[in-house]
Amino acid sequence: MTLKLEGKSIVITGAASGIGRASALLFAQEGAKLLLVDRADEVEATASAVRASGGTADARVADVSSEAEVEAFVAAAVSRHGALDGIFANAGISGGVRALDELTAEDWLRVLNVNLIGAFLAVKHAARVMVPAGRGAIVCTASVAGIRSGAGGLPYSASKAGVISLVQTTANQLAGSGVRINAVCPGLIETGMTQAIFDRARERGNEHKIGQLNPLRRSGQAHEIASAAMFLLSDSASYVNGQALAVDGGLTSSLPVVP
């Protein structure tokens, strides 16, 4: 059986937790050689879990909003594995969930620096390596919040709409280079970021309500986003470029059905 990411050198940001961690475990199972990046030290635990399951992964603590640190981890992946075939720019934070008149410029900057500038820096430095090689795949984590309103605060939603625009515009800028770029847009997934929502619902005995408006009648799981990112990074997606793929159980394409 052919593995979907056999021998590919891939960087994953935000790999200490949630979607990034699930992606590390899945990509490694499919043969990728990984450099796992996070600002949290727990990224080492993800790399250890990958190695314990027979995969290849190194860990690196870095902040995706620092250009010097992004440039350095991209260079580290190339020097370790001789190439950079893919990057999953997935690190992100929530925040700025406040009423319009209470929001500050600092709330905006905090979220934009990680979610949008962080994605931009990963795209920029990955492309610097991939374009001369004439190949590569980039996937950024956006969100359903970047497609429709109603999830997350204003800065978060705007940052994720910005990520979608970054992907679409970069696909054009990279035309003819052999490098593809796409976004994955998760719906509500139980991870570190959303743990409080799920904990609160469980405390109130309301957990079943979380997925009530979703056509699949449930929230999603981190490995389901990892699968979509893996597809977009793999050669199976060789003609998929500049897209924002919603992985949300159908939430953004549906109106609630009135029985």
**What residues make contact with ligand NAD under the rule CB under 6 A?**
13-14, 16-20, 38-40, 63-65, 90-93, 114, 118, 141, 143, 186, 188-189, 191-194
Of 156, 158, 229, 233, the catalytic one is 156
- Rounded to a whole number of angstroms, the distance between the first and last alpha carbons of the chain is 46
* CB closer to ligand NAD out of 14 and 153: 14
What is the residue-wise DSSP string for 209-237? GTTTTSTTSS-B-HHHHHHHHHHHHSGGG
Q: How far is the CB of 225 from ligand NAD (least distance, A)?
A: 7
* CB closer to ligand NAD out of 119 and 129: 119
The residues, any chain, with a CB within 8 Å of residue 217's CB and separated by 6 or more, are 211
* CB closer to ligand NAD out of 77 and 114: 114
Q: How far is the CB of 159 from ligand NAD (least distance, A)?
A: 8
**Residue 106 corresponds to which tokens in the numbers above?**
């600092």
* CB closer to ligand NAD out of 14 and 96: 14
Please check whether residue 130 is in contact with residue 84, taking contact to mean a CB–CB distance below 8 angstroms.
yes
* CB closer to ligand NAD out of 118 and 249: 118
Q: How far is the CB of 135 from ligand NAD (least distance, A)?
A: 25
**Residue 175 corresponds to which tokens in the numbers above?**
């035309």
DSSP state of 126: H
* CB closer to ligand NAD out of 179 and 228: 228
Residue 254 in 3-state DSSP?
coil
The residues, any chain, with a CB within 8 Å of residue 85's CB and separated by 6 or more, are 8, 9, 10, 135, 136, 137, 233
Radius of gyration, alpha carbons of the chain = 18
Strand partners, 9: 33
Known catalytic residue: 239? no
Q: How far is the CB of 129 from ligand NAD (least distance, A)?
A: 19
Strand partners, 185: 246
Q: How far is the CB of 156 from ligand NAD (least distance, A)?
A: 7
DSSP state of 116: I
| Residue 239: C-alpha distances to residues 107, 113, 119, 181, 233 (Å) | 38, 31, 22, 11, 11
Active site residues: 156
